[in-house]
Amino acid sequence: MRRLLTVLAAGVPLAAAVCLPTASAAPRSDTGPVRATCSVPSVSAPAGTEVESVTAVRQEGGTVHGSGILGGTVTGVPAYCEVTVTLTHPGADDHAAVRTWLPVSGWNGRFQALGGSAYAAGDNGVGLAGAVKNGYAATTTDAGLGDVLDTGWALDRAGRVNTPLLKNFASRSQHEAAAVGKDVVDDVYGRRPSFSYFNGCSTGGRQGYMEAQRYPDDYDGILANAPAVHWDEFEVATLWPQVVMNNEKTYPSACEFKAFTDAAVEACDPLDGAEDGLVGDPARCGFDPRRLIGTTVLCDGRRLTLTAADAAVVRKIWDGPRTMSGKRLWAGVPVGADLSGLAGVSGPDESGQMRGEPFPVPRLWVTTWLKKQPSFDVSTITYSEFTQLFKQSEAEYDKVVGTDDPDLSAFRASGGKLLSWHGQADQYIPSHGTVEYRRQVERAMGGARRVDGFHRLFLAPGTVHCGLNKGDGTTDDLGALRAWVEQGKAPRTLPATLVNAHGKNVTRDLCGYPQVSRYKGHGDPSAASSFRCVSAPRR
C-alpha cells in the first residue's frame, strides 16, 4: 500500500509548491495590491449547468493536510478564502464541487487550476495549498466523483456506464471549473486574473491536453506532464504485463525484474556518449534479456537463477502488447523503468504459488468500464481476449476520453502555450504515447517548427512517473511556462536535476523534442554543461 500511495501521489501537481526562481515575470499593471473580502460571491452557471450552492469560508492557513488516500502536507500556507461552488447538470443527478482558494493578501494576479490523479478529477488540497503559498488564486473540481481509486460512480444501478459522470471526468468539469474559478476571482478581488494557467500530471496531464483540444480559450498556459493521452488505449495496454505473466505462468520477483533492468541500463547507458547512469533514448536500447539466462542474483538472502522463462516474460513486457498474429498494439514498459510497477506479484501462497498483483488503475478500467463487472478476475484474460478488450476500449471510449485530437489550431489561434515533460523511465504511462501525439500534431499542423510556436515537449532520461518535483529530480516547469506566456521567452531547453541509476543527482538541460542530449566528449558527465542537444533520426 505504501508503494501505491507513493505512485499515486506522483500524479498530484505539487509543482505549484516549489519556489519559482526563474518565474519572476511581474503580472500586468492592473493587478495592484488587493485583499480577498471572503464574502459569498456571485457566480454565473456555466452553460448546461445549474448552481446548487455557494459558500465562502476564511481559512487561517498554516499547515494544510491533503485529503483521501494521497494525503500530504503543506506548511506555511497564508490565510485564504475558500469558496466552494457546487454545480449540477439537470437530469444527471450529479453534484460537482468547484473549490477556489484565494490568498487574503499577496495575490500575484494569476489564476491556476489544478488537475487530478488516477480516477480523482481534482486536487486533494496539497496542490491548492502550494499554489496559494506562491501567491496564486487556485481552483480545482471533484467533477462529482470520488478519491483516486473510487470507481463506484462508474456504473448506474442497472450496471450501465454512467455517461454523465464519465463525461464530467473526461472533459466538461475542467472547463466548468475554469469558468467558475475566474468568476470567483473577479467577484472576490474585483478584477479578473491577468494570466490563467492549468497545472497537472498523469490524469491531470490528460486534462490539460483535453483543455487545449476542446476548450482552447480557457488558459493562457497549460502545464501538462506525463499526460495520460490515448487513455482508452494505454489503460488496457498497461495491463499487458499481468496478462503476460498469467499466460506464461511465470512470475519473476521485483528483485529479479530489477536484475534485468539494471543490466539493460548498464548496456545502453553509453549510447548517448557518456556513462552517467542514464539511458538517454530507451527506444534505441536493444538489450536482449536472454543474455541473463543462467545468471545468479541475490534476492532477500536467497540465490536465484534467472531462467529462460523469466527472460521471455521480460522480453514480452518490454516489447509491448501485440495481437496473436504479432501486430503491435501499443508500447511496452520502457527499458530502464521499474518493471514491478505494472508487473507486480505477490506470494507464494499456502500452496507455494505466485500470483500477479495488477496496478489498480488499468485493472479498474478493464473490470468496470469494459467488462462492467467490478469483481471480474483479470488473471483469466488470455492473449486473444486482451486484443478484444483493447479494440473494445478504442471503439467505446476514444471519442469520450481518448484525448488524442491532433487539431490544436484553435488553441494556437488563442495564443495559448502548452508545455509538457515526460519521464523516459515512466513505469505507468510510457512516453511513447506523448511522443506519438506530438508527431500527430506536427503532421496535422505543418511540422515541428510551426508546432514549437505553441507546444513544446521535453523528455527526461531516467525519470519515473511524474518524477520531477516529486522527489525524483526537480525542474522549474511552471516558471518556464510563465516566462513563455508572459515574456515570450520560449524554452529551448528545460534545466533539470535528475537522479541516475546509482541514486546520484546529475544536472541536464532537457532537450526540446525531437532533439536529444549527447555528451560533448569531455567534461563532467554529471554536469549539464558537458552535453548538447542534437537532432535525432526519426524512427
With beta carbons less than 8 A apart as the criterion, state whether 289 and 306 touch.
no
Query: What's the rounded Cα separation, in Å, for the pair 537 and 394?
Result: 30
Q: Which residues are catalytic?
A: 202, 426, 465
> How far, in Å, CA of 234 to CA of 433, rounded?
8
Yes or no: say if 425 and 459 are a contact pair by the CB < 8 Å rule.
no
- Of 128, 51, 46, 125, nearest in space to 86 by CA: 51
Q: Cα dist. 281→5, 272, 278 in Å?
A: 29, 8, 9
Other beta carbons within 10 angstroms of residue 65's beta carbon come to: 12
Give the residue carrying C-alpha cell 484553435. Answer: 410
DSSP H/E element including 460: strand 455-460
E-state strands within 157-272: 195-201, 221-225
Which residue's entry shows cell 452557471? 45
Cis peptide bond prior to 348, omega within 30° of 0? yes
Calpha distance 101→285 (Å, rounded): 46
CA 51 to chain centre: 30
Distances in whole angstroms, Cα of residue 379 to Cα of each of 143, 249, 294, 355, 359: 32, 11, 28, 9, 12
> What cell does 221 get?
498556459
DSSP letter at 275? -
Per the DSSP assignment, residues forming a β-bridge with 423 are 460
User: Residue 157 corresponds to which cell in the numbers above?
Assistant: 444501478
Cα distance between residue 333 and residue 103, in whole Å: 42
Q: How far apart are CA 225 and CA 223, in angstroms?
A: 6
Q: CA dihedral in degrees (249, 251, 256, 261; nearest 10)?
A: 80
> Which DSSP string corresponds to 408-444?
-HHHHHHT-EEEEEEETT-SSS-THHHHHHHHHHHHH
3-class SS of residue 14: helix
Please measure the distance between the N-terminal and C-terminal CA atoms of the chain and give it in whole angstroms: 39
How far is C-alpha 538 from the geometric centre of its chain's CA atoms?
25
SS3 at position 206: helix
Q: What is the DSSP letter of 522?
A: S
Label residue 415 left, alpha or beta by phi (over 0 means left) and psi (-120 to 50 means alpha).
left
